[in-house]
């Protein structure tokens, strides 16, 4: 079996998108080069990468090589939301095996069941051989959307409300450490961060059924690196942010502090990524380094289901 997550930088939407011209794809291209020449090819292959890989030249070479080597395969864009985990981490996966029995689309969809209440955007997107960008996963079109507060449009607010109504997804509180609030001070966002990034924060409550993807920059950078938790749920977020831009810096900090915003702990991020309770970091690994490796990791539950499907 080959399990691989080739470097994602050549395919990320915020990168240069160098694709196969990027030197970081060399190890992946090397595997594609030797695969047809192996006397004994691996029975199973699982590959993961970021959204963007599915339309790359590297992906084209991959499926061409697999077809020529006698593999049957399926490709899917899937997020942990599909397995009831309140975290968005949309990723491309390919599972392949040397077999006369084809991998069926219905098998993949059965591995990621949805309830009647589920939003259609939670559905895994099984990719067809001739690819077009997956539907339902594009960024929301914000043109004409009225900004409410916190630089959040009506479209943003409605999407988040819909996600929080999805009863097939568990609540954030199920993934929190039980006694973190006793030592909450060390996890609170510092005043400097609140002042600079308050309008960019993705804020969730323990009762929410959504959070954004945690990246390796969580805890060091704020914008687009992961959600923060509102611990004081009695305070309405709208009441804090309305008119905040008219306040002095001292008043802003006082207002924002009412929400008691804190970072998720590394253990909580690991929980949202499906790691078992038996998992732990060595004592000498710093908190920042824990965030880094978790941000570079995969969702364990999603991968486990794909592996079970692959080898069954």
Neighbours of 58 (CB within 10 A): 18
User: What is the crossing angle of helices 57-68 and 26-34, to 10°?
Assistant: 20
The pLDDT of residue 23:
82
Pick from 186, 185, 231: nearest CA to 208: 231
CATH 3.40.50.150 spans which residues of the chain? 2-119+301-311
The pLDDT of residue 133:
34
For 2-119+301-311, CATH gives 3.40.50.150
The pLDDT of residue 140:
39
Structure tokens at 148: 């409410």
Contact 75, 60 (CB under 8 A): no
Q: 95-131: per-residue pLDDT in tens?
A: 999 977 778 888 888 888 754 333 445 555 765 443 3
* DSSP state letter for 131: -
Pick from 282, 307, 281: nearest CA to 294: 281
Share of the chain above pLDDT 90, in %: 54
The pLDDT of residue 52:
86
Structure tokens at 58: 């590297």
Q: H helices then E strands: how many in the chain?
A: 10, 10
* Global pTM value: 0.85
* Cα–Cα dist 55/33, whole Å: 20
The pLDDT of residue 12:
75
Q: 189-209: per-residue pLDDT in tens?
A: 999 999 999 888 999 999 999
| E strands present in 11-164 | 44-50, 71-78, 91-98, 125-126, 147-149, 152-153
Contact 49, 298 (CB under 8 A): no
Q: Flag residues of the chain having pLDDT under 70.
A: 13-17, 114-124, 126-152, 182
The pLDDT of residue 87:
95
Total residues found in the chain within this entry: 312
CATH 3.90.120.10 spans which residues of the chain? 148-297
For 148-297, CATH gives 3.90.120.10
The pLDDT of residue 127:
58
What is the set of active-site residues? 8
H or E, element range at 126: strand 125-126
């Amino acid at each position: 079996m080959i399990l691989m997550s080739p470097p994602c930088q050549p395919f990320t939407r915020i990168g240069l998108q160098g694709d196969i011209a990027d030197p970081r794809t060399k190890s992946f291209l090397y595997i594609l080069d030797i695969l047809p020449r192996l006397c004994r090819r691996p029975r199973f292959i699982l590959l993961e990468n970021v959204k963007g890989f599915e339309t790359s030249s590297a992906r084209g070479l991959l499926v061409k090589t697999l077809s020529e080597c006698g593999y049957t395969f399926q490709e899917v864009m899937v997020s942990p939301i599909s397995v009831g985990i309140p975290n968005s981490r949309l990723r491309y996966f390919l599972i392949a095996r040397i077999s006369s029995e084809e991998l069926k689309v219905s098998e993949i969809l059965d591995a990621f069941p949805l309830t009647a209440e589920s939003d259609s955007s939670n559905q895994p997107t099984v990719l067809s051989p001739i690819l077009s960008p997956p539907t339902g996963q594009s960024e929301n079109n914000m043109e004409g959307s009225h900004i409410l507060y916190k630089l959040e449009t009506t479209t943003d607010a409605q999407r988040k409300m819909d996600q929080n109504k999805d009863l097939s997804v568990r609540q954030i509180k199920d993934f929190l450490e039980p006694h973190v609030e006793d030592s909450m001070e060390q996890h609170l966002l510092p005043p400097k961060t609140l002042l600079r990034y308050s309008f960019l924060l993705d804020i969730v409550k323990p009762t929410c059924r959504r959070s954004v993807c945690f990246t390796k920059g969580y805890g060091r950078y704020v914008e687009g690196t992961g959600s923060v938790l509102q611990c004081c749920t009695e305070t309405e977020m709208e009441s804090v942010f309305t008119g905040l831009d008219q306040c002095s810096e001292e008043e802003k900090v006082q207002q924002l502090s009412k929400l008691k915003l804190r970072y998720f702990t590394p253990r909580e991020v690991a929980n949202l990524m499906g790691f078992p309770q038996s998992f732990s970091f060595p004592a000498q690994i710093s908190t920042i380094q824990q965030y880094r490796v978790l941000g570079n990791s995969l969702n364990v539950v999603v991968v486990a289901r794909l592996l079970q499907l692959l080898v069954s």
